[in-house]
Chains A and B, each alone.
Chain A
Amino acid sequence: MLFFMETFIGGLMAGVMYSLVALGFVLIYKASGIFNFAQGVFALFAGLALYDFIAEGGWFFGLFGFTLPIWAGIIATMGVMVIVAWLVERVVLRHLVNQEPIILFMSTIGLAYVMEGLGDIMFGSDVKPLDIGLPQGASDFLLDSFNLYVEKLEVVAAGTAAVLVIVLAIFFQKTRIGRALRAVADDHQAALSVGISLNTIWVIVWSVSGFVALVAGIMWGSKSGIQFSLSLIALKALPVLILGGFTSVPGAIIGGLIIGVGEKVAEVYAGPFVGGAIENWFAYMLALAFLLVRPQGLFGEKIIERV
C-alpha cells in the first residue's frame, strides 16, 4: 500500500510537470487557435537564457565579469521571452493570419527548429545544472511522519503550478487585458470590430506562455539539468492536452495529473509483463481511449458542427 502511495504521489508530481508545459499550449491555442509545437523548445530556451544570466559558465559572466542575482536573472529572462514573443509575432504570425491551422502548426515546428538550432549555437549543447536555490532531496517531514519518499522539488513544483493557475485565472477573469484575451479567443473578428488589437494580444499571449515556459524550464532544469531533451517534453504534454481539451486551463492541470498517475502506475504494475518502457506510448493510448468517449477531451468546448 505504501509503495502504491509512493507511486501514486510520484505520478501526481510528474503530472504537474507535464501540466506546466501543457498550460503554455492551452494559452496560445485559446487566444490564437495556433497549436504551438515550439512550447517545449520555449522552455528549453528560457532555461538556457536563465542559466546564462545567473551562472558563472554563462555568456553574461563572460561579457561583464559578474552574474546577476537570481531574481534579476528571472526578470531578464522574462525580457528575453517577451522579445522572442514579439519577434515571433512580427516575423511569423503576422504574415500567416487567416491561414489554415495546419500551416500555422507547421510554421511552429519550423520555429522550434530555428530556436533549437540557435539555442545550441548560442549556448552550447552540453547539460547545464540549473541551481536557483530550490530545495533538493526527499521531504523529511513526509518521510518521518508517513514514511513516504517524496522529492521536495516536486512539492515546490506542485505549489508553483497551483499559484500559476490561480494567477492566470485572475489575470484572465479580472484584468482588462484578460477580458480582451477572452474576447479574442471567442471570436477574432468580433474582437477586432470592438477595437482590440489582435497583434498586441498575440504578443501578450506569447509572452505569457513564454513566462509559463520559463517556469517549466526552471522546474525541469532544477530536476535534471538544462539539456536538449527538454524540448522533447512537448511530446509528453501532447497527450495531456488532448485528454484535458485544447481550450481548458483546468483541463491541462487535471489531464496532466491523470496522465502522470496513469503512466507511473502502469509502468510499475503492468510494465514488467510486457517488457517495460511503456511510458513512451501509454499516455497516448490512455488519451486515445478517453477521446473515443469524449472527442473534445475532458473539459474542451463541445465541438458543434453545422453544414
Chain B
Amino acid sequence: MTEELTDQLRKVFVEALELPAEVDVENLKYRDIEQWDSLGHMTLVGAIEDEFGVQFDTEQVIDMSSFKVALDMLRGTSVDG
C-alpha cells in the first residue's frame, strides 16, 4: 500500500511539474528544479488534492517542501489506509 501511494504520488509530481525522465522524484525538494517554483507549487498542490481527494491547510501547503514531506502529509490524511 505504501509503495502504491509512493508510485501514485510520483506520477502526480511528474505530470503536474512536467518533469523529465531523469529527475529523481523521490528526493526532490522545493526549488531544486525550475519547474517547482512557487507557481508550480500551487499547481502541484492542486494536482495532489485532486488525485487523492484531500484538501490541505495553508500551513501544510507552505510546509510541503519535498516529495517526502508530501508523502508524509498524505499518510497523515489516512490516504494510505
A binds B: no
